[in-house]
Copies of this chain bind each other. A is one copy, B any other.
Amino acid sequence: MTVQNNGTAQGGVELAPDDALDMLTKASSVALERLTDFLAIPSISTDPAYHEACLDAARWSAETLRNIGFEATVEPTDGKPMVVARWRAANGGRPRPHVLFYGHYDVQPPDPLEAWSAPPFEAQIVEHPTHGKVIVARGASDDKGQVMTFIEACRAWIDSTGTLPVDVTILLEGEEESGSPSLEPFLQAHGDNLKADIALVCDTSQWDAETPAITAFLRGLAFSELTLKGPSRDLHSGIYGGPAQNPIRALGELIAGLHDDTGRITIPGFYDDVAEPSNEQREAWRALNFDGAGFLGEVGLSVPAGETDRSIVEQLWSRPTIEVNGIIGGYTGPGTKTVIPAEASAKFSFRLVPRQDPGKVIEGLHRYVAERLPADVTASFQGEGGSPAVGFDTNAPAFRATARALEAEWGKPPVIVGCGASIPIVEAFRTRLGMDALLVGFALEDDAIHSPNEKYNLSSFERGARSWVRILSALGGSSAEA
């Protein structure tokens, strides 16, 4: 091994062990064999017929980690088990940095099977038209391939240096693709054993094939269901049509009024706590040349429907929204029924940005409805809740160290991206364990996760693992030769 000093490269890049980096490049075929073995286990968590396969995937993961030198156990839950693995250095009792890595060993169902060009659990290496070699299988990208980038990085560190630069706990879940019902209870019961300085989550995307990314903004959520009641019973539209108030019409008017002509939300006080992105941030996002046409085109759309004075990236990463997620009222069966219904209801949800309080936002909705409610219509709300947005401190030492490590591997700084949605595991780590997360992923948008012919670029696999070697170094403050 060639570790040269034990200090942090001040103001520079913390150096990772060259041997470890080399190993990942040279031994990539062996690493691919291990990934292929992992991918061969059809660990479809949502389908009870594959319960045993999920147990196999958990046992395979634990065994693989034990082979590297981790203490690894398969911990039962009410659903699929958790894999918990630990690597602790003998450090003379002195505390070392400690990271918790999170990933999942379960996969989406492969349906429709006939759309696959090869059996989904028999990984194929094929030449991709633009990405070079890729591995095709269910789970190749989401999340087995990504999990293995981290495990291979640990293996390379340990194999080349005999140690890891930080204490590492690994938590692999088996229900990520089926709603994670066991996760919260497990964190509640075992949180003390899992809590680390920071969580590393490898389940997001790079910016593009040549550019890494760290996800630093996650929008929050607030939700509410509104029921409007008008007449005391369903009315015959012939007898009452005209003078009788129709709650569907009232609901339509409330929905229509939620946005002004510029797409701005009209709820009183809605933007009070919304911070504008800095000009610097805006400029950085502009420089990304985000492919808005491609983003919308993939789902059959072409014209951004949000605030007219904001780019798509701004809309998604820095602006709150309200959506109607569902609506129902009156007669919805086949044919015609000339009824003026007694009630109608709609489910609303908000995406929030940092500093917005979900409770205050919901109060704003109540106020909006109360102010606009027509005569003879009453409103009631139910099923309300939410969680605030997450904005990680991009100036925190761990964040900056990770960014530098990624830059060292990729030759350019990572793009700091937002995510329009909350990621439940991040929320759970914050709520249950009081722990921030670093979201560094090596998937690509065109990996076709959850779709037929899911693939993972071999370059993402190798450079992902190399990135983790460097990130672990950076987080540990250890260094190796350049």
List the interface of chain A (C-beta within 8 A of B). 219, 221, 223, 225, 230-233, 235-246, 248-249, 251-259, 292, 295-296, 299-307, 312, 315-316, 319, 321, 323-332, 334-341, 344, 346-347, 349, 351, 374-376, 383, 385, 419-422
Expressed in whole angstroms, the minimum distance between the Cβ of A9 and any Cβ of chain B is: 38
Considering only CB atoms, which chain B residue lies closest to A340 in the complex? B323
* Given A242-B351, A340-B323, A376:B231 Cβ within 8 A: no
CA distance A316 to B281 in the complex (A): 59
- Across the interface, do A338 and B312 meet the contact criterion of CB distance under 8 Å? no
* Given A223-B338, A303-B375, A335-B383, A324:B246 Cβ within 8 A: yes
Copies held by the complex: 2
CA distance A393 to B225 in the complex (A): 51
Expressed in whole angstroms, the minimum distance between the Cβ of A232 and any Cβ of chain B is: 3
- Across the interface, do A339 and B316 meet the contact criterion of CB distance under 8 Å? no
Secondary structure of the A side of the interface? mixed
CA distance A3 to B46 in the complex (A): 90
CA distance A304 to B244 in the complex (A): 6
- Across the interface, do B243 and A306 meet the contact criterion of CB distance under 8 Å? yes
Expressed in whole angstroms, the minimum distance between the Cβ of A373 and any Cβ of chain B is: 12
Considering only CB atoms, which chain B residue lies closest to A220 in the complex? B238
- Across the interface, do A299 and B255 meet the contact criterion of CB distance under 8 Å? no
* Given A255-B253, A325-B341, A328-B328, A420:B240 Cβ within 8 A: yes
Expressed in whole angstroms, the minimum distance between the Cβ of A309 and any Cβ of chain B is: 13
CA distance A442 to B301 in the complex (A): 60
Expressed in whole angstroms, the minimum distance between the Cβ of A84 and any Cβ of chain B is: 29
Most B CB within 10 A of own CB, among A221, A301, A325, A340: A325
CA distance A300 to B325 in the complex (A): 29
Expressed in whole angstroms, the minimum distance between the Cβ of A292 and any Cβ of chain B is: 7
- Across the interface, do B332 and A327 meet the contact criterion of CB distance under 8 Å? yes
- Across the interface, do B321 and A376 meet the contact criterion of CB distance under 8 Å? no
Pick from B315, B332, B374: contact of A242, CB below 8 A: B315
Expressed in whole angstroms, the minimum distance between the Cβ of A177 and any Cβ of chain B is: 14
**CB pairs A–B below 8 angstroms (12 shown):** A237-B421, A238-B419, A238-B420, A241-B321, A242-B306, A243-B304, A244-B299, A248-B324, A248-B326, A300-B376, A303-B375, A325-B340
Most B CB within 10 A of own CB, among A238, A242, A339: A242
Pick from B243, B246, B256: contact of A253, CB below 8 A: B256
Pick from B246, B305, B332: contact of A323, CB below 8 A: B246
* Given A336-B347, A340-B325, A242:B420 Cβ within 8 A: yes
Expressed in whole angstroms, the minimum distance between the Cβ of A374 and any Cβ of chain B is: 7
The 10 closest A-B pairs by CB, nearest first: A238-B421, A252-B255, A232-B300, A256-B256, A242-B315, A326-B330, A303-B375, A242-B306, A326-B331, A248-B324
- Across the interface, do A243 and B312 meet the contact criterion of CB distance under 8 Å? yes
Pick from B253, B304, B327: contact of A328, CB below 8 A: B327
* Given A300-B231, A300-B232, A376-B305, A252:B324 Cβ within 8 A: yes
- Across the interface, do A296 and B243 meet the contact criterion of CB distance under 8 Å? yes
- Across the interface, do A245 and B303 meet the contact criterion of CB distance under 8 Å? yes
CA distance A374 to B246 in the complex (A): 24
* Given A245-B305, A305-B374, A325:B299 Cβ within 8 A: no
- Across the interface, do B329 and A327 meet the contact criterion of CB distance under 8 Å? yes
* Given A241-B323, A300-B376, A328:B338 Cβ within 8 A: no
* Given A312-B243, A321-B237, A375:B302 Cβ within 8 A: yes
Considering only CB atoms, which chain B residue lies closest to A374 in the complex? B305
Q: In the complex, what residues of B have CB within 8 A of residue A332's CB?
A: 326-328, 347
- Across the interface, do B242 and A248 meet the contact criterion of CB distance under 8 Å? no
Q: In the complex, what residues of B have CB within 8 A of residue A238's CB?
A: 219, 221, 351, 419-422
CA distance A296 to B231 in the complex (A): 9
- Across the interface, do B237 and A325 meet the contact criterion of CB distance under 8 Å? yes
- Across the interface, do B316 and A243 meet the contact criterion of CB distance under 8 Å? yes
CA distance A230 to B324 in the complex (A): 13
CA distance A46 to B422 in the complex (A): 53
CA distance A337 to B305 in the complex (A): 21
CA distance A303 to B347 in the complex (A): 27
Expressed in whole angstroms, the minimum distance between the Cβ of A65 and any Cβ of chain B is: 32
* Given A236-B421, A339-B325, A242:B319 Cβ within 8 A: yes
Q: In the complex, what residues of B have CB within 8 A of residue A349's CB?
A: 237, 336, 338
- Across the interface, do B249 and A324 meet the contact criterion of CB distance under 8 Å? yes
Considering only CB atoms, which chain B residue lies closest to A323 in the complex? B237
Pick from B235, B299, B331, B338: contact of A240, CB below 8 A: B299
